Structure 1
Amino acid sequence: MGEGEQVLVVDGVCVSFSGRPVLDGVSFGVRAGEFYGLIGSNGSGKTTLLRTILGFQTTVAGSIRISGAGKKALVGYVPQKILLDPYLPLRARDVVSLGLDGHRLGLPLFSGRQRHTVDRVLKAVEAEGFADQRVGELSGGQQQRVLIAHALVRDPQLLLLDEPLANLDMRSAAGIVALLRRLCVEHRIAVLLSAHDMNPLLPVMDRIVYLANGHAASGSTDEVVRSEVLSRLYGYHIDVVRVHGRILVVAAGSQDEIRTAIGRDPAHVAQIP
């Protein structure tokens, strides 16, 4: 992909469930080699949007365009909440290998070239040290690296991740974020990662797509995470508070109330998300 070329264009997408709008006129673009955070509270439509991009969910209106749509394996996907049985008789490298030929029954026999590809991707995600361990016995952070390798094994131009930081401790989450940023820069992969909390992504995020009330705003963090922008999305007044390098998005309340809450404990502030 060329420098700054758009890999994904979402244009006026509307999705409804049983007549209830879930996404309403969502528009944004994703460029090669950039890291995008898809931010929104639980139920805001993040997973629905990712499924729509993948073609698993039909739209009522709007369009989605992916560069080179005729090519195979253009998009890599790490779904939400995969639970791996500790007794599952698959090694980490076996899971990655399934990304090459997982549509066939059974574990296929791979050529030397395919084994080299798997080893290369395992090394790229820093998982070669546990490549031959049972995947169900790995830590949450290690499993997430294996799932990312599985999504990358066919060299996609766009990587979609649905809440990959959920249930990870802070150290593991920071490691995954740093890994994805490196992949972004070194391999020119466009990354779109959904999360309910933007703060772990602030050091690496090039742009943000913020979902609320079925609508979206996109741009740099400074452009989007502002009181007037988020108030328009939510349909009521929102305050944006920056404290100790973190961003808190809080429901309407007097500035005195917000300052008092932060003075006691930032956790007392109702964050959305």
Structure 2
Amino acid sequence: MSAISLDHLTLSVGGRSLLSDISLDIAEGAFVGLLGPNGSGKTTLMRAILGLRRPQAGRIAVFGEPVGQGHAAIGYLPQTHAAPPDVGLSGRAFLAASVAGHRFGLPIVSAAARRDIDWALEAVDGVALAERPFSAMSGGQRQRLLIAEALIGRPRLLLLDEPLISLDQHQQHVIVTLVRRLSKEFGLTVLFSAHELNQLLGAIDQVLYLGGGAAVLGTVDEVVTPETLSRLYGTKIDVIRASGRIFVMSGGEHIEREHHHDHAHL
């Protein structure tokens, strides 16, 4: 069974077409990197999979079912957290507040929810964060806790929208390695958005590259070619491989890095 099926999907925001007539299937258990220039529709696609953005045309299915808000099989880590956490909360209280709907005061949750929280903390190697104040956590520890939040409810599909933002190279590697382990250990399908391919090399099974209203899914070697990326970016692209890294270049610029902040949150 496919974890995600896009059937002639068209997505638009504010009258601007981001994806046009896209059809593809992401296999259950695959770890897929979601790449493309900002404004290409990475966040919008995730929101559509969540049922938060209605397609202009076409259909989306998750594990064979039409998408709808609150799909229990999906865990989501947004690029910007909807409710900034109370920095005084401990890791466990933060997760409990998530389960309880971010209510004021110390959250009260059921015994089953407490067990789920304990499982999520253990799954991300975050037991030590349970009693630590959010304010005392490093950026990498905070992202680890947010991944634990996405795991609550034991989803089968994880949508992670730019979880590496503001992390140094070491912490980026730690988070990618963690997500890879979670995918393998629990059979999770992962769609992991990033702005640079090198952050994900060696971890992902496939890459889904968006651009120019189109989408191409395949292995890194199949997708990251001058011909394919030139079509997606709408300009001449050179792909340079050196020292185990891949550089997507246009006019002498490392285009993934230089164009990261052009169009946020699309």
Which of the residues 25, 32, 46 maps onto 1:29?
A: 25
Q: Secondary structure at the match of 2:246?
A: strand
The alpha-carbon deviation at position 244 of structure 1 amounts to 1.2
Matches within 5 A, 1:71-220: 72-82=71-81, 88-102=87-101, 107-220=106-219
The alpha-carbon deviation at position 161 of structure 1 amounts to 0.6
Match of 2:49 in 1: 53
Q: Secondary structure at the match of 1:164?
A: coil
Name which of structure 1's ranges 136-145 and 82-91 shifts more when overlaid on structure 2: 82-91
Give the 3 Å change call, closer, same or farther, for CA 249–60 of structure 1 in structure 2: same
Larger Rg: 1
Give the 3 Å change call, closer, same or farther, for CA 63–83 of structure 1 in structure 2: closer
2-structure distance, mates of 1:37, 1:86: 27
2-structure distance, mates of 1:182, 1:52: 26
Match of 1:231 in 2: 230
User: Counterpart amino acid of 1:271?
Assistant: I
1-structure distance, mates of 2:114, 2:39: 40
Q: Secondary structure at the match of 2:109?
A: coil
Q: Secondary structure at the match of 1:59?
A: coil
CA offsets, 1:75-133, max 9 Å, x none? Answer: 10000133986863321112222443427776542333332221111011011112111
User: Counterpart amino acid of 1:136?
Assistant: S
CA offsets, 1:135-155, max 9 Å, x none? Answer: 233111111111111110101
Match of 1:270 in 2: 254
For the Cα contact (< 8 Å) 1:249–1:271, is it kept in 2? yes
User: Counterpart amino acid of 1:179?
Assistant: L
2:77 aligned with 1:64, yes or no? no
2-structure distance, mates of 1:221, 1:238: 15
2-structure distance, mates of 1:183, 1:73: 18
2-structure distance, mates of 1:190, 1:149: 16
The total of aligned residue pairs comes to 254
2-structure distance, mates of 1:124, 1:169: 23
- TM-score, normalisation: structure 1: 0.85
The alpha-carbon deviation at position 11 of structure 1 amounts to 2.1
2-structure distance, mates of 1:103, 1:11: 35
Give the 3 Å change call, closer, same or farther, for CA 203–101 of structure 1 in structure 2: same
The alpha-carbon deviation at position 53 of structure 1 amounts to 1.0
For the Cα contact (< 8 Å) 1:36–1:192, is it kept in 2? yes
Q: Secondary structure at the match of 1:174?
A: helix
For the Cα contact (< 8 Å) 1:39–1:208, is it kept in 2? yes
The alpha-carbon deviation at position 186 of structure 1 amounts to 0.6
Match of 2:262 in 1: none
Match of 1:261 in 2: none
2-structure distance, mates of 1:168, 1:233: 27
Q: Secondary structure at the match of 2:254?
A: coil
Match of 2:264 in 1: none
1-structure distance, mates of 2:57, 2:86: 45
For the Cα contact (< 8 Å) 1:157–1:188, is it kept in 2? yes
Give the 3 Å change call, closer, same or farther, for CA 58–167 of structure 1 in structure 2: same
Give the 3 Å change call, closer, same or farther, for CA 111–272 of structure 1 in structure 2: closer
Match of 1:266 in 2: none
For the Cα contact (< 8 Å) 1:86–1:136, is it kept in 2? no
CA offsets, 1:244-270, max 9 Å, x none? Answer: 11111112x5xxxx6xxxxxxxxxx33
Q: Which runs of 5+ in 1 are unaligned?
A: 259-268
- TM-score, normalisation: structure 2: 0.87
Q: Secondary structure at the match of 2:72?
A: coil
2-structure distance, mates of 1:110, 1:146: 18
CA offsets, 1:153-211, max 9 Å, x none? Answer: 10111000110001001111111000100010010010001011010111110000001
